[in-house]
């Protein structure tokens, strides 16, 4: 019996529904969140039982009995997070939410999953083969740091996770290697732990079979993200022979652990559920990890305490763990950024300077650069071209056929030709599968307008090239212009030092932050386009039958891929500066980021228009600079509570988060929350913002330099800050005022830099006059699956 509690419940469920108790049938898995625990970190088994009992008691007082409460609770979060996941009626949930000890009650919601040359691109190889002066060398490659992810599990046999050369497991580690005897799964001194959590997923699927009883990664996403954050250096990594080089994790000497909370689709219910995410967080915090990377998100923001990601991350940061989260893949829609909690490092995605170029050549002499990871066409000659629209099946619409959606193409028309498909609606690789099924020899994937210049090298199942919007329009026009259009796709080759780079990926979710516009999100950007990292050797129990290729390394794109780059850097900073708080580490990463590309001009977005902080946050990470930021904007756990007070969260409930007594300050002001960026979403007249800097470098005198946003005057007081000791803190005030005749109608952007001539501590300034024009075009898409659209 896999889930005794659950199956008893389901038995009850069936009986009750048969005997016309319709209300019971509507019971859904809810999370009841109670804040923090009274017990300290050294928790005994008796403490854990006592907490579980208190949960049964609390719920029992609302249900018929203690026993019934026990049956409906599937998780008691009893280590760091205080709460439980239980099957409840809507009315019961509403009643429980009124209890004074209850912070929030919310449904078990689903989230979706949102090289490696990437480190060289960030100059981590500076100093030659021995990495002299690089953060890698200085931070001993992340030795003794433990990095975890919450994802689809891990493929333990990857070389990225081999323990050759690793010493004993750090003594602070309290985790386990959870496996199931029917699956070959083992941990080692590198991959020191693995666990899985599936009860939240089971709540929508009924009983799961044994293939769901393992931390093994059937999907590849979890192995990819974990090896990016903390995988070993593995030479000879390539995808179908392309991009050959050494695969590198950010913290290659760190230990890693996988918490599997995301599950493959059964009847489209796949994903990562809040109840499992919270269980994963509670255990990871307990097990002693230092950094958690989570590339998972939802399609909208919810309140900080009705969101499993936000609650889990809050407790992690409270225990000193750095939280790296993906910003989402719902760009380029404004306001699409997710994972916006101020205790997270929220990461957008941008390109590398590497391309896998496959050119589209037309018989009329035009030639367009595209990207692909596919094989070459069988013969070196022109092939007939056809557009999806021209190849439409009788029962399909022209629009659907142009997108090469399933069942829309007429094989008789497509056979032996190169098919041109429009990006959107279905997955990019999926379009190639449809093309191949219809008998095409190749595919030209043409961007739609919103995706502009955002082209991706995908492992297509047939010879293919993905071209930008302008090229796509030209190819379509050519196909329309002649009766016998002919074309060719060159075999992909790897090109480095591509310019301009980085630029923002079109899919990278954008600000403004729709939950708390005073907090700039995303915080930073990192490589997330065409990232090569470790993959899986498994076939998923619900595998798409078409693509049977298995590779030890694969290329993926998404903010899912950029997030673990930041986790890897955070791991190094943890080794180098064990005393730094998560906020200090975030500040070091963001204030040293750059906003220029490799042409020394401002970073662009995928339409090749200058990108803004709503796209890249403070800019692109520069790991080597982050190790010596000079000054940091620090925050304590109490500062986050003050933040919640300032937002007007229930004062008595905020006290539940803290083990020690806590009271909201009399004048909690959001403007003075010590965030490393400055955002004023509704400026009328003038506003004064206070910030505090902490010296983490050598003694020095720092001077402020301001780049005023257009139409806004900015004054800083004092103008000079003198630091004599490490740890010394100094405050300053920034006054922003709208210039009378030049009021900003939309968001405008500027910057503040503190410098002692050696360090540059940069913060973006983002301002809009009251009532900014904010249009939210279209609906927000599903998030964070390695962007396959």
Ligand X SMILES: *[C@@H]1O[C@H](CO)[C@@H](O)[C@H](O)[C@H]1NC(C)=O
Which residues make up the interface to ligand X (CB under 6 A)? 179, 181, 184-186, 205, 209-211, 236, 238, 241, 244, 266-267, 332, 393, 395-396, 407-408, 452, 473, 476-477, 480, 506, 541-542, 605-607, 609
Sign of CA dihedral 146, 147, 153, 159: negative
CB atoms closer than 10 angstroms to residue 382: 16
Residues belonging to the active site: 151, 221, 560
In the bound complex, what is the minimum distance in angstroms from residue 422's beta carbon to ligand X? 10
Q: To 5 degrees, how large is the angle CA 408–CA 409–CA 410?
A: 130
- Which lies closer to ligand X via its Cβ, residue 439 or residue 655? 439
- Which lies closer to ligand X via its Cβ, residue 481 or residue 660? 481
Strands 464-467 and 442-446: parallel
- Edge-to-edge strands, sheet with 28-35: 73-77, 82-88, 28-35, 104-107
DSSP tag of 667: T
Q: Nearest Cα to 626, choosing from 595, 596, 568, 585?
A: 585
Please count the CA atoms within 13 angstroms of the CA of 120 that sit on its side-chain side.
Answer: 15
Number of H helices, E strands in the chain: 21, 36
What span, in angstroms and rounded, lies between the C-alpha atoms of 138 and 134?
A: 6
Helix (H) or strand (E) holding 569: helix 559-576
Please state the φ and ψ torsions of residue 495, each to the nearest 5 degrees.
-120, 135
Q: Nearest Cα to 563, choosing from 221, 257, 125?
A: 221
What span, in angstroms and rounded, lies between the C-alpha atoms of 666 and 669?
A: 9
- Which lies closer to ligand X via its Cβ, residue 186 or residue 497? 186
In the bound complex, what is the minimum distance in angstroms from residue 236's beta carbon to ligand X? 5
What span, in angstroms and rounded, lies between the C-alpha atoms of 776 and 789?
A: 20
- Which lies closer to ligand X via its Cβ, residue 173 or residue 662? 173
What span, in angstroms and rounded, lies between the C-alpha atoms of 230 and 245?
A: 17
In the bound complex, what is the minimum distance in angstroms from residue 605's beta carbon to ligand X? 4
With beta carbons less than 8 A apart as the criterion, state whether 392 and 406 touch. no
Two structure tokens written together for 658: 């803290």
- Which lies closer to ligand X via its Cβ, residue 477 or residue 682? 477
What span, in angstroms and rounded, lies between the C-alpha atoms of 452 and 764?
A: 26
Two structure tokens written together for 320: 């000193």
Label residue 41 exposed, middle or buried (CB < 10 Å: 0-12, 13-18, 19+). Answer: exposed
Q: What is the CA radius of gyration of the chain?
A: 26
In the bound complex, what is the minimum distance in angstroms from residue 468's beta carbon to ligand X? 11
In the bound complex, what is the minimum distance in angstroms from residue 151's beta carbon to ligand X? 20
What span, in angstroms and rounded, lies between the C-alpha atoms of 248 and 232?
A: 6
What span, in angstroms and rounded, lies between the C-alpha atoms of 487 and 724?
A: 68
Q: Nearest Cα to 503, choosing from 529, 530, 523, 531?
A: 529
- Which lies closer to ligand X via its Cβ, residue 465 or residue 605? 605
Two structure tokens written together for 745: 């109608």
What span, in angstroms and rounded, lies between the C-alpha atoms of 328 and 505?
A: 11
CB burial of 596-606 (b: ≥16 within 10 Å; e: otherwise) equals ebeeeeebbbb
What span, in angstroms and rounded, lies between the C-alpha atoms of 433 and 544?
A: 11
What span, in angstroms and rounded, lies between the C-alpha atoms of 41 and 646?
A: 29
Residue with tokens 């990857």: 158
Q: Nearest Cα to 614, choosing from 727, 502, 541, 523?
A: 523
Residue with tokens 């070389």: 159
- Which lies closer to ligand X via its Cβ, residue 239 or residue 626? 239
In the bound complex, what is the minimum distance in angstroms from residue 351's beta carbon to ligand X? 12
Residue with tokens 């001993």: 140
Helix (H) or strand (E) holding 689: strand 686-695
What span, in angstroms and rounded, lies between the C-alpha atoms of 700 and 609?
A: 38
The answer to whether the bond into 522 is cis (omega within 30° of 0) is yes
* Nearest-CB residue for ligand X: 407
Two structure tokens written together for 536: 């899986």
In the bound complex, what is the minimum distance in angstroms from residue 398's beta carbon to ligand X? 7
- 680 Cβ neighbours under 8 A, 6+ residues apart: 518, 671, 687, 689, 736, 766, 767, 768
In the bound complex, what is the minimum distance in angstroms from residue 764's beta carbon to ligand X? 15
In the bound complex, what is the minimum distance in angstroms from residue 470's beta carbon to ligand X? 11
In the bound complex, what is the minimum distance in angstroms from residue 614's beta carbon to ligand X? 8
In angstroms, the first-to-last Cα distance of the chain is 40
């Amino acid at each position: 019996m896999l889930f005794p509690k659950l199956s008893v419940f389901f038995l009850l469920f069936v009986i009750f529904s048969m005997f016309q108790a319709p209300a019971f049938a509507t019971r859904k898995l809810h999370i009841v969140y109670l804040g923090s625990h009274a017990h300290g970190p050294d928790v005994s088994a008796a403490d854990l039982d006592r907490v579980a009992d208190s949960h049964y008691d609390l719920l029992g007082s609302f249900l018929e009995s203690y026993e019934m409460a026990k049956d409906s609770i599937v998780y008691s979060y009893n280590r760091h997070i205080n709460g439980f996941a239980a099957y409840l009626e809507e009315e019961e949930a509403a009643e429980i939410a009124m209890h004074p000890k209850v912070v929030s009650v919310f449904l078990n919601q689903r989230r979706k999953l949102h090289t490696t040359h990437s480190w060289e691109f960030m100059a981590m190889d500076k100093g030659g083969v021995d990495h002299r002066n690089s953060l890698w060398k200085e931070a001993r490659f992340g030795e003794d740091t433990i990095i975890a992810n919450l994802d689809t599990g891990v493929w333990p046999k990857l070389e990225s996770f081999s323990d050759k050369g690793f010493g004993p497991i750090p003594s602070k580690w309290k985790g386990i290697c959870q496996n199931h005897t029917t699956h070959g799964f083992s941990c080692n001194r590198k991959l020191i732990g693995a666990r899985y959590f599936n009860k939240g997923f089971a709540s929508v699927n009924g009983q799961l079979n044994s293939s769901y009883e393992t931390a093994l990664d059937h999907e590849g996403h979890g192995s990819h993200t974990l090896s990016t954050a903390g995988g070993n250096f593995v030479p000879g990594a390539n995808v179908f022979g392309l991009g050959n080089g050494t695969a590198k994790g950010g913290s290659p000497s760190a230990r890693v652990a996988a918490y599997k909370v995301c599950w493959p689709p059964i009847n489209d219910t796949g994903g990562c559920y809040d109840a499992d995410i919270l269980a994963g967080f509670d255990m990871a915090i307990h097990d002693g990890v230092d950094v958690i990377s989570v590339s998972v998100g939802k399609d909208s923001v919810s309140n900080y305490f009705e969101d499993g990601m936000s609650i889990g991350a809050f407790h992690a940061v409270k225990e000193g763990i750095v939280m790296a989260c993906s910003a989402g893949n719902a760009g380029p829609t404004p306001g699409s950024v997710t994972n916006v909690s101020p205790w997270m490092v929220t990461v957008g995605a941008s390109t590398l300077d590497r391309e896998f170029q496959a050119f589209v050549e037309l018989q009329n002499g035009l030639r367009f650069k595209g990207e692909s990871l596919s094989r070459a066409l069988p013969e070196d000659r022109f092939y007939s071209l056809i557009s999806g629209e021209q190849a439409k099946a009788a029962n399909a619409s022209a629009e659907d056929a142009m997108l090469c959606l399933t069942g829309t193409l007429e094989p008789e028309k497509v056979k032996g030709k190169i098919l041109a498909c429009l990006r959107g609606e279905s997955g990019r690789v999926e379009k190639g599968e449809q093309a191949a099924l219809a008998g095409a020899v190749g595919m030209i994937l043409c961007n739609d307008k919103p995706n502009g210049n955002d082209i991706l090298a995908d492992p297509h199942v047939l010879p293919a090239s993905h071209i930008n919007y302008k090229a796509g329009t030209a190819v379509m026009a050519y196909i329309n212009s002649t009766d016998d259009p002919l074309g060719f796709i060159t075999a992909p080759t790897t090109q480095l030092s591509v310019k301009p780079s980085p630029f923002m990926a079109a899919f990278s979710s954008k600000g403004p932050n729709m939950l708390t516009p005073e907090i700039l999100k995303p915080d930073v950007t990192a490589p997330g386009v065409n990232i090569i990292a470790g993959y899986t050797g498994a076939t998923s129990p619900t595998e798409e039958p078409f693509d049977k290729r298995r590779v030890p390394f694969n290329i993926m794109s998404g903010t899912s891929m950029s997030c673990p780059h930041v986790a890897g850097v955070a791991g190094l900073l943890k080794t180098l500066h064990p005393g730094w708080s998560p906020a200090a580490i975030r500040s070091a990463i963001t204030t040293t980021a750059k906003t220029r590309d490799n042409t020394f001009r401002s970073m662009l977005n995928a339409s090749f228009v200058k990108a803004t902080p709503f796209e890249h946050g403070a800019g692109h990470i520069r790991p080597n600079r982050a190790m010596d930021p000079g000054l940091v904007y620090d925050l304590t756990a109490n500062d986050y509570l003050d933040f919640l007070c300032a937002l007007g969260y229930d004062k008595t409930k905020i006290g539940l988060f803290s083990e020690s007594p806590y009271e909201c300050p009399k004048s909690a002001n959001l403007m003075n929350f010590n965030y490393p960026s400055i955002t004023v979403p509704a400026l009328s007249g003038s506003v004064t913002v206070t910030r505090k800097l902490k010296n983490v470098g050598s003694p020095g005198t720092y001077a402020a330099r301001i780049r005023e946003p257009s139409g806004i005057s900015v004054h800083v007081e004092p103008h000079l800050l003198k630091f004599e000791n490490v740890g010394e803190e100094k405050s300053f005030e920034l006054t922003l005022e709208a210039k009378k005749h030049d009021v900003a109608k939309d968001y405008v952007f500027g910057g503040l830099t503190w410098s002692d001539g050696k360090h540059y501590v940069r913060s973006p300034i983002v301002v809009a006059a009251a009532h900014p024009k904010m249009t939210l075009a279209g609906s927000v898409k599903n998030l964070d699956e390695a962007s396959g659209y």
